[in-house]
Amino acid sequence: MKVLILGIDALEYNLVEEWDLKNLKQKEYGKIKVPITKNLKEPATEIVWPCFITGEEPEKMGYVNTILYRQPFKWFFENIYTNINSKQGDIHPETILDKRTKKRELLDILSSFFKKVGFSYHPTRSNIKAPTIFNYNNKKIAHFHIPVYDKNVFPDYRKDLVDVISKKTSIPNFTKSVKKSFYNRCNELTEYLKNNKDWDLVMMYWFCLDGIQHAFFKNKLKIMDFYMLFNEFIGKLKKILPRDVFLLIISDHGQKYGIHTNHGFYSSNINLDMKKDNITDFKKIIEKKLEE
């Protein structure tokens, strides 16, 4: 059986239900548990997606923080600095404008310095220690923009978020940029599926719902617009898929008022009879479907 995975960052279960998005609500769908490490207050993209593709919790997946530190300062950073840093808030760009303290600003300057001199770095594929769903020599597999696993996953939208919230850039320009990224990835996936009939596993990842919900957490109509775009795209996508495809839609967390919720979303076009409802359970399900 072929397996197609659509990884949609920040797809919120409650909004899918509220707006009754039929193409996102497949034969089976619901909330799933996602890993939250002790130093983080909410699910993090750089941790949850590697846990999904490995089927392991962060400790066994390979790392537990979104920023990693090199020796000989690793112990200090992970046990002292990270604990201080995690207590300062600033989870989202909107908090930069009205809640940032002098201590927070100093820590940000230090973080930038540590990265510049090479003390700290963002995790990459080499930091993922457990086998992933992509580690099959006898299967034809394609993956696009998977966080940490692939390079160049995100445009520089963190800065764009701060700029649109602080009104340094206009709302139409920001929205246009995010929509462009959305359509680029939709077209990339569609073209691949049209031009490649012989595949076993394909996964595509989109970041744009996360950015839109952070930027416009007070504007539900703007958020709805992007949810509708996904619902429409998936409806069109289903028309070009062969019948023997397991279509899994998955998110690493949802969002409410611009804050990551502690649950993800899943939707399957076949009955899975999920028991534990944990995002790490899907690796075994995917492997089983690949062998059918």
Q: 259 vs 199, which has greater pLDDT?
A: 199
Residues 152 and 111 in one domain: no
Q: How far is CA 273 from CA 156, 157, 215, 252, 281, in A?
A: 39, 37, 36, 20, 12
* pLDDT of res. 96: 46
Query: Both ends of the chain: CA-CA distance in Å?
Result: 5
- Domain that residue 98 falls in: 67-121
Which range is least confidently modeled, 170-174, 241-245, 273-277? Answer: 273-277
The CATH number linked to 262 is 3.40.720.10
Q: Is residue 42 part of a domain?
A: yes
Total domains present in the chain: 2
Which range is least confidently modeled, 108-117, 192-201, 223-232? Answer: 108-117
Percent pLDDT > 70 in the chain is: 82
Mean pLDDT of 189-203: 96
* Predicted confidence (pLDDT) at residue 231 exceeds the cutoff of 90: yes
CA 67/CA 159 separation, integer angstroms: 18
Q: Give the residue from 151, 173, 169 showing the smallest Cα distance to 93.
A: 169
Q: Is residue 193 part of a domain?
A: yes
Residues 172 and 111 in one domain: no
Q: Specify the amino acid at residue 238.
A: K
* pLDDT of res. 94: 47
* Predicted confidence (pLDDT) at residue 81 exceeds the cutoff of 80: no
* Predicted confidence (pLDDT) at residue 257 exceeds the cutoff of 70: yes
Residues 88 and 200 in one domain: no
Residues 255 and 180 in one domain: yes
* pLDDT of res. 88: 43
* Predicted confidence (pLDDT) at residue 99 exceeds the cutoff of 60: no
Residues 76 and 32 in one domain: no
Residues 153 and 9 in one domain: yes
Which range is least confidently modeled, 33-47, 85-99, 158-172? Answer: 85-99
Residues 158 and 74 in one domain: no
Please write down the HEC assignment for all residues of 225-292.
HHHHHHHHHHHHHHHHCCCCEEEEEECCCCEECCEECCEEEEEECCCCCCCCCEHHHHHHHHHHHHHC
Q: Is residue 20 part of a domain?
A: yes
Q: Is residue 76 part of a domain?
A: yes
Which range is least confidently modeled, 70-84, 179-193, 221-235, 271-285? Answer: 70-84
Per-residue pLDDT band for 69 (boundaries 50, 70, 90) equals: confident
Residues 105 and 161 in one domain: no
The DSSP code for 57 is -
Please list the alpha-helical segments (H only) found in the chain: 13-18, 45-54, 58-61, 74-76, 82-86, 94-98, 102-117, 157-165, 171-195, 208-215, 220-240, 282-291
Q: Is residue 241 part of a domain?
A: yes
* pLDDT of res. 29: 96
Would you say 34 and 43 are in contact if contact means Cβ atoms under 8 Å apart? Answer: yes
* pLDDT of res. 145: 96
Residues 160 and 102 in one domain: no
Q: Is residue 188 part of a domain?
A: yes
Which range is least confidently modeled, 83-97, 127-141, 183-197, 209-223? Answer: 83-97
Residues 37 and 16 in one domain: yes
